Structure 1
Amino acid sequence: MREVAALPTRRDEAWRYADIEALERLGVDALDVWKEVTLAPGETRSHCMVVGSDAPELHRVRLTIGEGARAEMFTVIAGSDYCRVEVEVRLAKGAHFEFGGVTIGGGDAVREFVTHTVHAEPEATSNQVVRAVHWDQGSGNFLGAIDVVRDAQKTDAAQDFKGLLLNKGASANAVPQLEIFADDVKCAHGATVGQLDEMARYYMAARGIPPHTAKKLLVRAFIADAFVAIGDEAEQERLLEAALDVLGDTL
């Protein structure tokens, strides 16, 4: 008999903060839709996108990076309903994966990035920077798993997550998972969650900067870290503005 597919539950580690009701609206067939991307040895490819809307979205990407190749992915999740961007990465020798992501919004929506990075061969590197800005009962999540196989010596992998909550009802969650079997590696993860710097707001107000403008500048500086590695200034500005547009009159 054909096995009947089922939706995940919050008991599944990779879905522990997901909006299961939103997944039900998407339907189980959405879980089978993956975008497969393969980079040839030595190839460099960069992709920037803005996702999220007033309906649930699920974006799943499988990325295979060839020897000495470089893949860059930069994403803003800015919708008013559940949105999940999930990326599975496999790196060959000397390959590099660069990821920058921003989740931003209010309401009661869950917005999340989930990455699984496999360092399958020696001397590969990866860097992931995620920023979350939320208010009302909005939630921003980053679940990032890194696997380093036994022969993947000289691996250098880093993840950096920071959450900015604009009121007490909002939340941000970071779940790092490291599974390392090689002994000559560098793997690091940092995660912090906080509020706007009140001292910075005070100094900006003292210099005549209106409160709304000051807050927007602080948020811009906070999320800009996720897009530092974008080589195209126009694309960098496009993503920043897409994120800041969501703020509206919130600040």
Structure 2
Amino acid sequence: MTVATLPTTKAEEWRYADIPALARLAPDALEQWRAIAVPAGESLADTLVLASGAPEMHRLRVTLGEGARAELFAVVAGGDYARLDIDVTLGRGAHFEFGGVTIGGGDAVREIVTRLRHAQPEATSNQVVRAVHWGKATGNFLGRVDVARHAQKTDAAQDFKGLLLERGAAANARPELEIYADDVKCAHGAAIGQMDEMARFYMASRGIAPDAARALLVRAFIADAFAAAEPQAGEALLEQALAALQGAAL
């Protein structure tokens, strides 16, 4: 990949990216999109884990037919720069469900970037993203929802929360809505903070050791992202995420 072909942080969808790490990817990495088409009335459920020690980027382009449903859940826990891009176009009455977690320490940047295109009426979408980071790591979520002028009765929601386990870690969130229809329900929320000390104190008062209390609180925090997944898949992803906690300041 030459310097000339790299994006810059002036581009909104790359504003928090690790551009030098992108330069270490394969030359055609930015052009590699995995296309997923879900026909009308059908359903798809899939999971994805990014956990390599080298820069890693996965890009998905999803098209949902009328009344189709897609559920995607992901853990981004790479030891180096890791990025998951998801671009979804929803047909009439379609539904898209996404749950994602970025987690890790060191000085890596891990990010999830989504763009949902509500192109037809009566489609729904829900996104739940959690970030847990320590050391000098950064977790990012950039989520954009576009609602076309004729896409009435759209119902779209996205929720991001970041948990910083150490001073020096960071999380960035940029939820964005672009709505041209007037009969819609669209909501987004973002919050970034540290461990709930009151919850820790409450658990300690009931005999739970401090390190165990912190681990339980982190587990519950991450589990939100997989609450809508099929139980077996959700539990497997939760364990993948928790495995990245080794070495964290709990």
Partner of 1:63: 62
Equivalent residue runs for 1:119-130 within 5 Å: 119-130=118-129
Q: Deviations over 1:73-126 (max 9, x none)?
A: 000011111000000000000000000000000100000000010000000000
Alpha-carbon distance, 1:166 to partner: 0.6
Read off the aligned partner of 2:170 and give its amino acid letter: S
* 8 Å Cα contact 1:52-1:82 kept in structure 2: no
Contact 2:56–2:78 under 8 Å retained in 1: no
Equivalent-residue separation in structure 1 for 2:22 and 2:49 (angstroms): 20
In 2: Cα distance, 1:70 partner to 1:189 partner: 21
For 1:156, the equivalent position in structure 2 comes to 155
Identify the residue that residue 239 of structure 1 maps to in structure 2. 237
8 A Cα contact 1:162 1:191, kept in partner: yes
1:142-221 equivalences under 5 Å are 142-221=141-220
CA contact (8 A) 1:115 1:143 kept: yes
SS at match of 1:218: helix
Residues of 1 paired with 2:68 and 2:121: CA distance?
Answer: 13
Structure 1 unaligned segments of length 5 or more: list them: none
Corresponding residue number in structure 2 for 1:226? 225
Matches within 5 A, 1:40-59: 40-59=39-58
Equivalent pair of 1:7/1:28 in contact (CA under 8 Å): no
For the residues of structure 1 that align with 2:215 and 2:178, how far apart are their CA atoms? 38
Instruction: Report the residue type matching 1:56 in the other structure.
Output: P
Aligned residue for 2:23, secondary structure, equals: helix
2:138, 2:89 → 1: CA distance? 28
In the alignment, which residue of structure 2 is the partner of 1:104? Answer: 103
1:122-147 CA distance string (max 9 Å, x none): 00000000000000111111101111
* Cα distance in structure 2, aligned partners of 1:186 and 1:87: 22
Distance 1:213 1:178 in 2: 39
Aligned equivalents of 2:34, 2:26: Cα separation in 1: 18
Distance 1:5 1:43, change over 3 A: farther
CA distance in 2, matches of 1:210, 1:245: 20
User: Residue 26 of structure 1: SS of its match in structure 2?
Assistant: coil
Contact conserved, 1:5 with 1:28, CA < 8 A, in 2? Answer: no
Q: Counterpart amino acid of 2:29? A: A
Matches of 1:164 and 1:43, distance apart in 2: 36
- For residue 49 of structure 1, what is the amino acid of its counterpart? L
1:177 Cα deviation (Å)?
Answer: 1.6
Q: Write the distance in 2 (CA, Å) between the matches of 1:198 and 1:5.
A: 48
Partner letter of residue 118 of structure 2? H
Cα displacement (A) at 1:5: 6.3
Percent pairwise identity: 65
Coordinate RMSD, CA, aligned: 1.1
Q: Where does structure 1 differ by over 2 angstroms across 4 or more consecutive aligned residues?
A: none
Q: Secondary structure at the match of 2:28?
A: helix
Q: Give the number of aligned pairs.
A: 247
Q: Distance in 2 between matches of 1:48 and 1:172?
A: 23
**How does the TM-score come out when normalised to structure 1?**
0.96
- The whole-number CA distance in structure 1 between the counterparts of 2:177 and 2:203 is 40
Using structure 2 for the length normalisation, give the TM-score: 0.96
- CA deviation vs aligned residue, 1:152-206 (integer Å, no higher than 9, x gap): 0000000000000011201111111211111101111100001111111112122
* Residue of structure 2 equivalent to 1:138: 137
